[in-house]
Amino acid sequence: MGSLKEIRNRIGAIKNTRQITQAMGRIASARLFRAQQAVTAARPYAARLADVVQALTASTDEAMNPLMAPRPVIRGVGIILVSADRGLCGGFNANVSKAAMRLIEREKAVGREVTLITVGKKGAATLGYNGIKADFKHVVPSHDDLIDTVKAVSAEATGLFLPDDGSEPKVDVVYLLFNFFKNALTQVVTEVQLLPFAPGESDPDNPPVEPVFEPGRVELLAHLLPVALESQIQTALLNSISSELAARRAAMNSATDNASEMINDLTLQFNRERQAAITTELMEIIGGSEALKG
């Protein structure tokens, strides 16, 4: 049992902490609404672009574009890890970092080198703590810097898979790891193969309608595939940002509830201790009075 002063100090400290967690939860909630609108607005474009690319590549020779050409994974593997710059968001960073660790261990177990691109300080720090250094690092972009970050990450991934100078590629496949924003309560760690592009699958019993396009298929794919790559990265970043805010709001709301529960328990303890102290003082007064009478 602590003294009344100690209990009062603890209650005051927890109330201050609760004010902070309440404020952080409200800020995350306000930002989540805007982020959710952004990811919802981006998904139809990304889905339609993916459909167009799938339709164009369904009956395309894989050699028509070098970003589609599959090859044995003998040089190495590229991994793009998307996390957050800050903590206090539950298991958001830990879950995606653990998935990256498992993927890296799986690839290294078969003798493949891993080249790591990180977006978010927490993922880079976690892997760095485990002895895995990121080759390219980016912070989580703001709304104004999102496109610049997407283009930079896309250029780095493409440069690893298909160098501009004609040198040997450093990696034969590139994966993207991020938290997919399913809803405000659920975020799912997702692994996507970015490169090489998988050609679309055609159903022999129900062949797709051949799209009409101009210019030729080769020229169109040369333009669309880099755009589709950037679209996938952008969608992943938007999903990750929304997932981070949703996870932070849930974590801060839970922390606020826990703080309120602790305050209630400590207040009850404080009242009991004060009542016991008052009773003791009364007993001493009564005892002293009886002694004087005697």
DSSP labels, 26-47:
HHHHHHHHHHHHHHHHHHHHHH
Inter-helix orientation angle 217-293/146-161, to 10°: 120
How does pLDDT run along the chain (294 residues), one tens digit per residue?
468 889 899 999 999 999 999 999 999 999 999 999 999 999 899 888 888 887 777 766 655 678 887 788 888 999 999 999 999 999 999 999 999 999 999 999 998 999 999 999 999 999 999 999 999 999 999 988 999 999 999 999 999 998 888 788 899 999 999 999 998 889 999 999 999 987 666 555 665 566 666 777 778 888 888 999 999 999 999 999 999 999 999 999 999 999 999 999 999 988 988 888 888 878 877 777 777 776
Q: Which residues, in sequence order, are CB contacts of 216 under 8 Å at separation 6+?
A: none
What is the predicted pLDDT for the residue at 205?
61
List the Cα angle 244/230/66 in 5-degree steps. Answer: 135
What is the predicted pLDDT for the residue at 60?
63
The answer to whether 65 touches 218, Cβ cutoff 8 Å, is yes
Measured CA to CA, the distance from residue 98 to residue 112 in angstroms comes to 19
Task: Identify the bridge partners of residue 180 per DSSP, sorted by sequence position.
Answer: 188
What is the predicted pLDDT for the residue at 141?
94
182 is catalytic: no
Please give the C-alpha separations between residue 144 and each of 4, 139, 148, in angstroms, as whole numbers: 52, 13, 8
What is the predicted pLDDT for the residue at 1?
46
What is the predicted pLDDT for the residue at 52?
81
Measured CA to CA, the distance from residue 279 to residue 273 in angstroms comes to 10
Does residue 172 sit in helix, strand or coil?
Answer: coil
Cis peptide before 215 (omega within 30 of 0): yes
> Which among 114, 113, 115, 133 has a CA at the least distance from the CA of 123?
133
Q: Kindly give the pairing relationship between strand 76-82 and strand 136-138.
A: unpaired
What is the predicted pLDDT for the residue at 2?
60
- Kindly state the tokens that stand for 131: 């002895």
- Annotated catalytic residue: which of 24, 84, 89, 124? 89
- Kindly state the tokens that stand for 32: 């989540």
